[in-house]
């Protein structure tokens, strides 16, 4: 049975997302460091990003599933900008 390229790309996307999350957890445990709030937020949105490929694998490729992944990316990028901007130290006299 021949599989469609869309199916293979969704499987690949899930492997990449799982790899990113596994690497983040492995570094956390091996280095014995607690993740910062921004890292936790990014991990939650990376899990939300996986919803699109999961729905594509379950119900077949649809534009609405891809839109769900794009929405997760847009929200993640907007939410990550605010805490990242607050982490930058500000010194007087610098702009």
58-81: pLDDT as tens digits? 998 889 988 998 898 888 877 766
9-57: pLDDT as tens digits? 999 999 999 999 999 889 888 888 887 777 888 888 888 889 999 999 9
Q: 3-class secondary structure for the chain? A: CCCCHHHHHHHHHHHHHHHHHHHHHHHHHHCCCCCCHHHHHHHHHHHHHCHHHHHHHHHCCCHHHHHHHHHHHHHHHHHHHHHHHHHCCCCCCCC
- pLDDT bucket at 84, cuts 50 / 70 / 90: low
Residue 60: what pLDDT?
A: 87
pTM for the complete prediction? 0.72
């Amino acid at each position: 049975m021949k599989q469609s390229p869309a199916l293979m790309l969704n499987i690949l996307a899930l492997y990449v997302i799982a790899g990113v999350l596994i690497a983040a957890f492995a570094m956390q445990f091996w280095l014995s460091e607690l993740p910062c709030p921004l890292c936790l937020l990014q991990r939650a949105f990376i899990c939300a990003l996986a919803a699109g490929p999961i729905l594509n694998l379950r119900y077949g490729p649809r534009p609405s599933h891809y839109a769900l992944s794009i929405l997760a990316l847009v929200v993640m990028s907007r939410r990550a900008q605010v805490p990242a901007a607050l982490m930058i130290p500000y010194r007087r006299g610098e702009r």
